[in-house]
Structure 1
């Protein structure tokens, strides 16, 4: 009789052990499922432009070349008025709004309205491009912290009224760039222009 009771007690102990193991497995599976569900579905990894050599960096670190390319591309597109600044300027702002911080968008929009009221945009054609020899270099990108940079763009600005040239200037634009990773569909760069870090400076005509 005692042997039978001992066998029953051992069986019950084994069942309790299995119950504990099942509960532990359930909790572990639930934790893994929650982690999988809450993990980001997309992850931006910034790679250096030259992949001939290996590169080791934190996934969240944005290479200076990427920051420069972003700042130049967006700034150039904002200031590309192929037909008339009165229509092209607001169109560009609307298209590129996701690449501007809210404060920068309001600042540029205000500048547009002021220039429109002064009659500076109608039939005005404009374009900006890099000064030869003044493209990307490490000194053109100042790293403020992990999420903020100041990019120095040395550009030539050409403006025409109808077919008549009215402006050609070489200007240094110090542009602030911030991490702005809030909408991958509208802004795959994960960056945004935060307007000028300081006042632009006119360069000498003989810039090399």
Structure 2
């Protein structure tokens, strides 16, 4: 009888151990499932455009060429008025809202109202383009086409762009302008903003005052900012 009691006790102890292992495994699986459900389903990794020599990147670093491309794309599209500036400009600001910081959005809204009040938008057609030969420059972070790194999440892109405006088929503006565009990292809505970047800071869109470089038909002073220019 004693031998049978020991066998039954050993069996019961083994069953208890197996039950404990099962409970632990269930808890571990539940923890793994919770971690899988709460982990991000998308990781935004910025890759430099030139991969001829390969590239090793940490996931949070944004290459300077990507910052420059983003700034040019957003700024050029916002300032493209194909038919009527009074309608197109307002629409562009609304459509690109997720690509603008609240400070930059407020600046553009105010600028829109001021220009509309002065009659500078109704019927106005506008185009903005990168000046040929003034694209991204690796060796000049402070100069035209350069990107200056402020910190991990903030940059200043210097864009030299041509701005042309016309009214009723008559040219009213055709100038070169230098824009010191502030760019910030804001990874808060990857569906609406896959770049994870926004134009502007808390105070506005620019890191300095935009300056007129010259006129499109005269390159003699194109490298010397001469006067303040409206965006």
TM-score of the superposition, structure 2-length normalised? 0.85
**In structure 1, distance between residues paired with 2:173 and 2:95:** 26
Residues 1-208 of structure 1 mapped to structure 2, 5 A cutoff:
1-138=1-138, 139=141, 140-194=146-200, 195-204=205-214, 205-206=219-220, 207=222
| 1:174 aligned counterpart, secondary structure | strand
| 1:158 aligned counterpart, secondary structure | strand
Report the count of equivalent residues: 208
Deviations 1:154-181 (A, max 9, x none): 1111111222212122111111111122
| 2:184 aligned counterpart, secondary structure | strand
How far the C-alpha of 1:121 sits from its partner, in A, is 1.2
Deviations 1:55-81 (A, max 9, x none): 111122211111111110010011111
* Structure 1 unmatched ranges of 5 or more: none
Q: CA RMSD in A?
A: 1.5
* Structure 2 unmatched ranges of 5 or more: 224-231
Deviations 1:124-161 (A, max 9, x none): 22111111211012321111122111111011111112
Task: Name the one with the larger helix percent.
Answer: 1
**In structure 2, distance between residues paired with 1:52 and 1:13:** 64
TM-score of the superposition, structure 1-length normalised? 0.94
| 1:150 aligned counterpart, secondary structure | strand
**In structure 1, distance between residues paired with 2:54 and 2:38:** 31
**In structure 2, distance between residues paired with 1:94 and 1:10:** 74
**In structure 1, distance between residues paired with 2:53 and 2:31:** 39
**In structure 2, distance between residues paired with 1:47 and 1:163:** 42
| 1:143 aligned counterpart, secondary structure | strand
**In structure 1, distance between residues paired with 2:131 and 2:109:** 27
**In structure 2, distance between residues paired with 1:167 and 1:192:** 28
Deviations 1:86-126 (A, max 9, x none): 11111111211111112211110111001100111122221
How far the C-alpha of 1:83 sits from its partner, in A, is 1.4
| 1:42 aligned counterpart, secondary structure | coil
**In structure 1, distance between residues paired with 2:88 and 2:57:** 40
| 1:177 aligned counterpart, secondary structure | strand
